Amino acid sequence: MKALILQHDHISPPGVISRRLEHHGFQVEERGVVPEDRYRSPDVDFTFPAIEEYDLVVIMGAPWGAWDDATIGTWLTAELEWIRALHAANVPVLGICFGGQAIARALGGSVGPAPAEELGFSMVHSDAPELVSDGPWFQFHYDRWQVPPGAREIARNPFASQAFVSGRMLALQFHPEVDSDVLDTWALDEELAVNIAESGQDFEVMRRQVAACDSGSWARAAKLVDAFLCHCEIPIAS
């Protein structure tokens, strides 16, 4: 089995998501969209792979909004078309934050700026805890989606819808992949600490909190990957 992890930028690693897929026998390929030298100007040419190349796709987060065509440029429209093709072909897709928002938009929902940002750990209310638990889950987003027609929302909190399913697609607003290593990689973007400070939080305290929760975060993320594979009727290893 072959899995594609689509990374929109150079500082959004999949962390435990990739490791758990490998545990279940997937050959994992990580492919980037925007190179490091174009991080501040992400309108680049990118050719999305043929949908038949992979048995499963994970679409990671991004520092841009899935509504922001003006900043992202041509590849956002192409990604939405690619997601619709994956959906039509019944390919399992896990979308994380921007990835989930892109799924929402591709399937006929909408995405836009949220009234308030959500940064740090939070609990969610899940109608399907066997697939998405209540958390705590790490959040880092300024936008939110409207659930697309025909999809089933399965988790939410007072800030935003947090998860929905449509066929073999699972969209998540939160970041199950985040541990202290991933957060350190995010911190390569100097604006991140500034954004956290502007929200009234201390980045170093947040980092220590994430590090203290690493083992629990790994377990929750692994359980979520396992549940997603079972939802898609993909055999998993013991």
Residue 238 lies in a domain: no
Read off the pLDDT of each residue in 38-56 and give the average, rounded to a whole number. 96
Catalytic residue ranges: 97, 175, 177
- Percentage of the chain lying above the pLDDT 90 cut: 91
Domain total for the chain?
1
Q: 224: closest CA among 98, 136, 144? A: 136
Read off the pLDDT of each residue in 159-167 and give the average, rounded to a whole number. 97
Residue 197 lies in a domain: yes
Residue 237 lies in a domain: no
Residue 212 lies in a domain: yes
Residue 191 lies in a domain: yes
Residue 236 lies in a domain: no
Sorting pLDDT into bands at 50, 70 and 90, what band is 178? Answer: very high
State the residue range of the domain holding 80.
2-231
Among the ranges given (95-109, 113-127, 189-203), the one the predictor scored with the smallest mean pLDDT: 189-203
Residue 97 lies in a domain: yes
Angle, alpha carbons 109-111-114 (nearest 5°):
135
Q: Tell me, what CATH number does 126's domain have?
A: 3.40.50.880
DSSP per position, 149-203: TT-EEEEE-SSSEEEEEETTEEEESSBTT--HHHHHHHTTSHHHHHHHHHTT--H
Has residue 199 got a pLDDT over 90? no
- Rounded to whole angstroms, how far apart are CA atoms 224 and 238? 15
Has residue 9 got a pLDDT over 80? yes
Read off the pLDDT of each residue in 167-190 and give the average, rounded to a whole number. 94
Tell me the per-residue pLDDT of 50-83, one tens digit each, with 9 for 90 and over.
Answer: 999 999 999 999 999 999 999 999 999 999 999 9
First vs last C-alpha separation in the chain: 17
**Which DSSP symbol is given to 53?**
G
Sorting pLDDT into bands at 50, 70 and 90, what band is 193? Answer: confident
| Predicted pLDDT of residue 221 | 97
Has residue 238 got a pLDDT over 80? no
